Every structure is written in C-alpha cells, then in structure tokens.
Amino acid sequence: MTDHPDPRSRPVPAGRLARARAMGGLATGLAGGVALSGAQALIRGRRPRLSELVLTPGNITRLADRLSEMRGAAMKLGQLLSMEAGDLLPPELEAILSRLRAEAHVMPPQQLKQVLQDAYGPDFRRLFRSFDTRPLAAASIGQVHRALTPEGQALAVKLQYPGVRAAIDSDLDNAAALIRWSGLWPAELDIAPLMAEARRQLHEEADYAREGVALARFGDLMAGDDRFVVPRLDPDRSRAAALAMSFEASEPIERLAEAPADLRDRAVTALIELCLRELFEFRLMQTDPNFANYRWRPDTGQIVLLDFGATREISAGVAEGYRALMAAGLEADREAVLAALERIGFIRAGLPDRHRATLADMAEMGFAILRGPGPFDFRGNDFADRVRARGREIGSERELWHLPPPETLFLQRKIGGLYLLATRLGARVDIPALARRFA
C-alpha cells in the first residue's frame, strides 16, 4: 500500500453505539449552545424562538461538521433535504446542508487497512500490486482509491465506510429527531416521505452488488455510443463492501469550461440527450447529478460516467407522464401542462384557479425554452434566477407547499443538476430539437 497522509482524514464512527453517541454528543452540544444563547437573550429582554437559538453561527458549524464526520445516513439525509425542499428551507439550514454537498472527510490509513482486511481478508495485498491510501474521491457512503492488479491493470476501488450500512436506519431516526427538535424543518412540510425515500436510497446505494449490476447494464446500453465511457466491472475484486472497476483516466468535467465552444456544446448536448434516453428509452436513470460523476477526456472529447449507486428504474407511467408534459409544453397548452404536472404528482390536484395559474406561469418559463427558435445559450442566461425568484414567491404561499413523489423528485434533481452543469460550462444546446425528438 502506498501511504500518503491526507489532511482531510478523520475516523468514521464504526458501530451503532459509537454513531449514536456521536449524534447524542451533537445534540448535547447544540442544547448547551441553545441554553447559553437563550440566557443571554433573556438578559437583554428578548424571548427568542427555539430555531433562532439553534441557528447560531457556532451551532451551524458544529452541526455541519459532525454530520460530515459521520458520513452515511446523516450526511445523505442532509444532502437530500437540501436538494428536495429547495427554497422552502430557511437560509440558515440551507447553509448547513450546502456544506454537506461538498466532499466528506476521509478515513485515516489505519482504519482504511482494517476496511480492506474486512472486505478481502488478511491477505488482501495479494490482490493488488499497489494500492494508494489517499482516495480519489470521498462521499457519504464510501471513498474511491486507485490500485493496480498484479497484472498491471489500473483499477478504481470503492470502499464502503465501516458500520455505515448497518447503521442506516438508526442514523436516519436520530438525524430526523434532531431536525424536528431544532425547529429547522418547516412544520407544514411532512418530512416522513423524504425520510422513507432517504432510507430506501441509502440501502440501495450501500448495496454494492446492486451497483455492480447497474454499472454493467449501463456499460451494455452505452456500448454503441463512443461519446461516453463507462468503467468495466471487475467482479474478481468486488465484494459486499468493495466495488472494483477499471480506472478511466480523465479530468473533472468543469475543465471543459476552458475548452473551445464547440467542444462544450457537444459535451452538454450529449449529456442532455443521454438524460432523455435514460427517461424515455432505457427507463433506467443514474439520478445523482453531482458534477463529480461526470469526467472528461480532453484527448478524445469523451465523457466518463461514474457512480451508479443511485440508478433507478423509471416506471412506464412516469415516463409517459413526462412525455405528455413535454408535448403539452411544446404546444403551449396550459391546461394540458397542468394536467400532466398533476399526473406525475408535481402539483396537488384540486388547487384553486389562482394557484393553478401561478404554477402554470412558472412552468411556462421553462417550456418557452423548448419552443425557442434555436439553441439555448446557458452562458449569462438569467433563466435560473427568474425561476428561483418565482420559486421564492411560491414558497411564501403555504397552500402551494408540496413535495412531489420520490420518483419525480429524483428526475427533477437530475434535470436541475444538468442545468447547473450546462450553465457552469457556458454551453449552447439546441434544446427544441432534442425535445421534439423525444416528445
């Protein structure tokens, strides 16, 4: 093993008791800060709300750091809440959750060695000519390392954090209790469906055998498209808590922002087309929009696709619902748009006409892009700002507060992530042509 110290290293609490103790210590620390801040406020003659006492700068930092240190369910729940509830959350909570979307801490070398022994046995070294202890990437469930086989093949090996899979349910229960106690979550929004979805997603993402199957399926589906590269599964070095695949040399896709315009346009067009194929042709979608899941090869212009833990089957009903929605948007048929939005669960049925009109106006902002006379220029476009501003207006109307079904949320998350990436890269894409092809 090639040992390189990493300044981000911090041990993952491995057992359920250790993880419960860490969460309990966090709650105690927050409560202490609340008591002190409350006493200071009362001395000044104020009677603050609990959420005001929780959301101090010190507590925000303490909460984000501890959830990041724990990884696993606590960190993933924070990421899901941040992405799915959007503008309905208070800005202080969004500040905490946005930090959890960044890269996690990593395991120190000694803990990493134990994880390798648990996954492969005490003679794990015979499986690798070399194994770099400094990870290529780290996230909520595991971290990825580069290795070489005895034959010299370069691998990327994803290792699951110790104790994370066994503690998913208890972690989620503890994190949800903390969020409810703090008053951070709006009472009008039912957190239970998101909790159930977070539980399901985490159990699926922690199932590396399932991810290996998804990786192989996408490899087969993309075999004829030389715009993309999908790593090859290495079944001989994959285990329940270790997923091995070919290492595909590439650069962060954000580097494309410095490339010529035609390269940027082709890459983003390919990614948007892939999303539509996933929805309407494959009925199988990698739903995690993290930029790190896309890499770029400057020498060939190919995009490397990574991380298939969040792969989801798309039901026929949802796929056809989105097809109907896109067709209605292309025809500028407001009533058909609203009907399609209800069908996929994006809006509630039975809303008053004034609320339906508000939502139809917001939908029209997006569908106007589909009917444009030519390519849509993501660079310098204020579309996202306008949608965000309208979203804040809707957020002030509590009758409109609604969390769509999980399947719809995952699709929206993927679409929103691609929009952010296209904007970051400053691409021009003929979205009308793509929409007409699949509608």
Residue reference for tokens 């609990």 = 50
Strand 428-429 and strand 376-377: the pairing is antiparallel
How far apart are alpha carbons 229 and 297 in whole angstroms? 10
Q: How many CA atoms lie within 13 A of 388 on its CB side?
A: 8
Q: What does the radius of gyration of the chain's CA atoms come to, in whole angstroms?
A: 23
Cβ proximity of 303 and 294 under 8 Å:
yes
How many CB atoms within 10 Å of residue 111? Answer: 17
Contact 168, 206 (CB under 8 A): yes
- What are the Cα distances from residue 328, in Å, to 277, 281, 325, 345? 19, 20, 5, 16
Residue in 171, 265, 288, 307 annotated catalytic: 288
299 catalytic per annotation:
no
| Beta strands in 40-167, from DSSP E residues, in sequence order | 130-131, 137-138, 142-148, 154-160
Distances from the Cα of 281 to the Cαs of 1, 98, 221, 274, 434, in angstroms?
Answer: 43, 33, 10, 10, 14
d(CA 211, CA 208): 5
The answer to whether the CB of 184 falls within 8 A of the CB of 67 is no
Determine the length of the chain. Answer: 439
Of 126, 14, 9, nearest in space to 70 by CA: 14
Answer whether 209's CB lies under 8 Å from 160's CB.
Answer: no
Query: Between β-strands 228-229 and 302-305, what pairing exists: parallel, antiparallel or unpaired?
Result: parallel
Q: Distance from CA of residue 349 to its chain's centroid?
A: 28
Catalytic sites, residue numbers: 288
